[in-house]
């Protein structure tokens, strides 16, 4: 096996471990918090801490990573802090303690995925390997671990933390093995991060992604509560997350061709349409067994936004600002997650779960119309006269 193949294998392993750690933790955290006795508004607040720290810390960490000798150093530190934070959760279940530990975890995971994606995309460019299969490894890791976690949580809720902490440990080891990716501002003149915002289409895409992640976050955070509401159990929830994860496979296999054919604007608009359809089905269907086909829609939602924007930023933003660009993307995701978590939690207590689902469905329709209209205006102004 050649050097390029060895590096490609390391990227595959790192992706599988990365996406089966904190994403799994946050997927099952609502179940843990709900069964521990927290109210919906408290759950929304606790889950919003991650996005809040993403907004506060991501741009700063991105700039530091771009100016460091190697971006890998930050990835290792963030992984280590995440592992320690996860291990602190099982010791107490008071609101104050869980809030403090959630804050510490949120601080370390704030830019974890963004920095990892920046290293991965640049490293893959260097060895001329596609991003799709690597991201697919992350999907496979998430799918497998969701089944395992769902099974063990039926026996003891604390297995959620034990399993994800072990995965975080192995993620640290794999991070050491990644090829070194330099911070491109470490030896050159400083480049202001505001240069990224001169691309009006990128700004529009980021705003639209923020709105999309509002809907995605509300679904991710409160679907476990909804599923319990209609009579579902944790072991079945694990199977549903497995189906949800593997549903991303077709898009990841053909992602480059799909985006090249449709263009990023149409791809994201269609994805938001799928988010609308999913909310509509949740509003209508209230039988646990019918959730299996609904979960297949996930393959055209979250992954379309994260993959498309990560690749767009890597291809259009200058090398000195790529880590910063990815963290700004992560910051927008964080803003959407905050709004989706907090607003969703309070709306559920105010108007009920089903009416809140309907409100998010309507938000999808309005945002798609505005996105297409503004995007058409930007393209028209960019045409040569």
pLDDT digits (tens, 9 = 90+) for 63-77: 777 776 778 888 899
User: Does the pLDDT value for residue 39 go beyond 80?
Assistant: yes
Task: Give pLDDT, residue 178.
Answer: 86
Task: Give pLDDT, residue 237.
Answer: 84
Cα distances from 180 to residues 71, 75, 79, 134, in angstroms, run 8, 11, 16, 17
Q: Which residue ranges make up each domain of the chain?
A: 3-183+192-382
Q: Is the dihedral of CA 189, 193, 196, 200 positive or negative?
A: negative
Q: Which residues contact 115 (CB under 8 A, 6 or more apart)?
A: 61, 62, 65, 71, 74, 75, 78, 323, 326, 327
User: Does the pLDDT value for residue 316 go beyond 80?
Assistant: yes
Grade residue 186 by pLDDT with cuts at 50, 70 and 90: low
Task: Give pLDDT, residue 364.
Answer: 96
Task: Give pLDDT, residue 2.
Answer: 55
Grade residue 319 by pLDDT with cuts at 50, 70 and 90: confident
**Mean local confidence (pLDDT), 305-334:** 84
Q: Which residues contact 209 (CB under 8 A, 6 or more apart)?
A: 268, 305, 309, 329, 332, 333, 336
**Mean local confidence (pLDDT), 30-40:** 85
Q: pLDDT (tens digit, 9 = 90+) per residue, 91-150?
A: 988 999 999 999 999 999 888 888 888 888 888 888 888 888 898 899 899 888 988 988
* pTM listed for this prediction: 0.75
Q: Which of 294, 165, 283 is nearest to 241 (CA)?
A: 294
C-beta separation of 168 from 21 below 8 A: yes
Task: Give pLDDT, residue 86.
Answer: 93
Task: Give pLDDT, residue 22.
Answer: 81
Of 17 and 194, the one with more pLDDT: 17
Superfamily designation of domain 3-183+192-382: MFS general substrate transporter like domains (1.20.1250.20)
357 Cα distance to chain centroid: 21
**Mean local confidence (pLDDT), 272-290:** 93
Task: Give pLDDT, residue 341.
Answer: 81
Q: Which residues contact 336 (CB under 8 A, 6 or more apart)?
A: 51, 209, 210, 211, 212, 213, 214, 216, 217
Query: Which range has the worst mean pLDDT, 18-27, 186-195, 254-263, 272-281?
Result: 186-195
Return the percentage of the chain with pLDDT > 90, whole number.
35
**Mean local confidence (pLDDT), 361-374:** 96
**What's the CA gap between 149 and 259, in Å, rounded?**
34
Task: Give pLDDT, residue 189.
Answer: 57
Question: Strand, helix or coil at 248?
Answer: coil
C-beta separation of 288 from 231 below 8 A: yes
**Mean local confidence (pLDDT), 253-258:** 88
Task: Give pLDDT, residue 199.
Answer: 84
Of 6 and 77, the one with more pLDDT: 77
C-beta separation of 317 from 328 below 8 A: no
Grade residue 5 by pLDDT with cuts at 50, 70 and 90: low
Residue 1 is given by DSSP the state -
Q: Which of 324, 258, 259 is nearest to 122 (CA)?
A: 324
Residue 302 phi/psi, 5-degree rounding, is: -55, -45
Task: Give pLDDT, residue 34.
Answer: 85
């Amino acid at each position: 096996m050649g050097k390029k193949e060895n590096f490609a294998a390391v990227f595959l392993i790192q992706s599988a471990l990365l996406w089966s750690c904190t994403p799994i933790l946050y997927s099952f955290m609502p179940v843990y918090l709900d069964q521990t006795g927290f109210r919906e508004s408290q759950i929304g607040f606790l889950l919003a801490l991650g996005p809040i720290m993403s907004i506060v810390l991501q741009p700063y960490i991105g700039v530091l990573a771009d100016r460091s000798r190697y971006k890998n150093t930050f990835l290792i530190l963030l992984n280590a802090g995440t592992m320690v934070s996860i291990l602190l959760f099982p010791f107490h279940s008071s609101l104050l303690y869980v809030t403090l530990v959630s804050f510490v975890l949120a601080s370390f995971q704030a830019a974890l995925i963004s920095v990892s994606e920046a290293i991965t995309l640049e490293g893959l460019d260097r060895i001329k390997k596609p991003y799709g299969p690597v991201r697919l490894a992350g999907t496979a890791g998430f799918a497998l671990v969701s089944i395992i976690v769902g099974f063990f949580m039926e026996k003891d809720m604390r297995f959620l933390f034990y399993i994800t902490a072990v995965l975080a440990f192995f993620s640290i080891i794999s991070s050491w093995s990644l090829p070194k990716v330099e911070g491109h501002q470490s030896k050159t003149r400083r480049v202001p991060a505001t240069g990224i915002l001169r691309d009006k289409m990128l700004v529009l895409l980021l705003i639209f992604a923020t709105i999309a992640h509002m809907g995605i976050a509300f679904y991710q955070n409160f679907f476990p509560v909804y599923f319990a509401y209609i009579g579902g159990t944790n072991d079945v929830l694990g199977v549903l997350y497995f189906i949800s994860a593997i549903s991303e496979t077709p898009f990841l296999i053909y992602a480059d061709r799909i985006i090249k054919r449709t263009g990023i604007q149409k791809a994201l608009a269609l994805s938001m349409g799928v988010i609308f359809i999913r909310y509509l089905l949740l509003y209508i269907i209230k039988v646990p067994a019918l959730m299996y086909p609904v979960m297949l829609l996930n393959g055209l939602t979250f992954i379309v936004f994260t993959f498309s924007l990560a690749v767009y930023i890597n291809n259009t933003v200058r090398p000195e600002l790529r880590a910063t660009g990815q963290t700004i993307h992560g910051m927008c995701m964080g803003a959407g997650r905050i709004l989706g978590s907090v607003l969703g939690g309070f709306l559920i207590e105010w108007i009920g779960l089903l009416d809140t689902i309907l409100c998010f469905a309507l938000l999808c329709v309005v945002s798609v119309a505005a996105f297409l209209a503004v995007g058409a205006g930007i393209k028209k102004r960019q045409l040569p006269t």
